Amino acid sequence: MSHELPTPPMNLPTEIVNTLNESDPKRLRDVATYAEALAEHKERETRLKESADQEEVEERPDDLPGEVPAKATITVKEINDNRYYYWQWREGDTVKSQYKGPVDPNE
**For range 56-78, the mean pLDDT:** 72
pLDDT at 28: 93
pLDDT at 2: 61
pLDDT at 91: 85
Summarised one tens digit per residue, pLDDT across range 4-50 is 888 988 998 999 999 999 999 999 999 988 888 888 888 888 877 77
pLDDT at 61: 63
Helix, strand or coil, per DSSP, at residue 100: strand
Q: Residue 55's pLDDT band (boundaries 50, 70, 90)?
A: low
Q: How far apart are CA 89 and CA 3, in angstroms?
A: 54
Summarised one tens digit per residue, pLDDT across range 92-105 is 888 888 888 888 87
Q: What pTM did the predictor assign?
A: 0.46
Say which residue, 68 or 61, is predicted with more confidence: 68
Q: How far apart are CA 90 and CA 84, in angstroms?
A: 19
